Amino acid sequence: MLLDRGINSIVFFDVETTGLDPQKDHITEVALKRCAVNGVGERTIDRYSSLVQLPQGVTIPDNIVELTGLTTEQVNQEGKPIKIIESEISKFFGDDTLVVAHNANFDLGFLRYTFGITPKHFICTKTIEAVAFPGNPNSLAKLHEYYYPNSDEQTHRAADDVEKLSDVFDAQVKEIGTTEMTFFINKIAILPERPLVYYPLLARYIDFTGKYVLKSKYDALELRAKDWEEDSDFLGCLEALGVENWSGYAGAVKMYNGEEV
């Protein structure tokens, strides 16, 4: 099915960074795995990983050092300049490539603003879980543990995360099906717990912020379910919004309370 769309390879992509803003923060580590697509499945043909030298005066915040174990000194001594890495990885991102990332708006944002690369085709594994399996965890570490119960602890290093990402994508393909997975090409879910830091070109957005809420609010709403089931006015609000799942009750609550939905 990917071949029918002119896609001949898949690149699993991940970065570690100094922060969350792709326009202001900097990449400290980059990794990717490229797989060839054929009529049967995919096979790995290339891997790439490198630490990235930081601009002069930029340091890695303490909380990031604690998370990844990477220090400013290490990336500057062992890493490569941005321009060198750009020349080495640009060949992996052609118009016939599908880029897979978890929380893709983040990774694609850094890919765009650091290396000037804007993929034509991409898939976000976090979006897949939010849309197809909303009850599942959607962090990469927890998702990998969900699909692979004997999963190793996440190291928050780019090369390790690329392997977890590849595993999760394979598991999602098995759950959804190859043909159905094509629905998620260039789709980005906007979730209530974290705003997008970058809006990829060519993306189409699935906005969950209006009818969907955080799990803590979801649980609180569920506790009141029996009372609501006996409330005809509230049921009318549910019907008006077309709510078919508990996450959507947030909008009905606002309508019931006379708030703007």
Question: Could you give the domains of the chain?
Answer: 3-207 (3.30.420.10), 215-256 (no CATH)
Kindly tell me if the per-residue pLDDT of 239 is higher than 60. Answer: no
* Predicted structure pTM score: 0.80
- Contact between residue 117 and residue 93 where contact means Cβ atoms under 8 Å apart: yes
Instruction: Quote the CA–CA distance of 199 and 17 in Å, as a whole number.
Output: 18
pLDDT digits (tens, 9 = 90+) for 141-171: 999 999 999 888 889 999 999 999 999 999 9
Determine the angle formed by the axes of helices 125-132 and 158-176, rounding to 10 degrees.
Answer: 40
Lowest mean pLDDT among 1-10, 157-166, 197-206, 240-249: 240-249
Which position has the higher pLDDT, 131 or 256? Answer: 131
**Residue range 33-48: average pLDDT?**
81
Torsion angles phi and psi, residue 247, rounded to 5: -60, -30
Query: Mean pLDDT over all residues of the chain?
Result: 86
- Residue 246, pLDDT score: 47
Rounded Cα distance, 80 and 49, in Å: 11
Burial class (CB in 10 A: 0-12, 13-18, 19+), 82: middle
pLDDT of res. 222 = 61
Angle between helix axes 140-147 and 158-176 (nearest 10 degrees) is 50
pLDDT of residue 207: 82
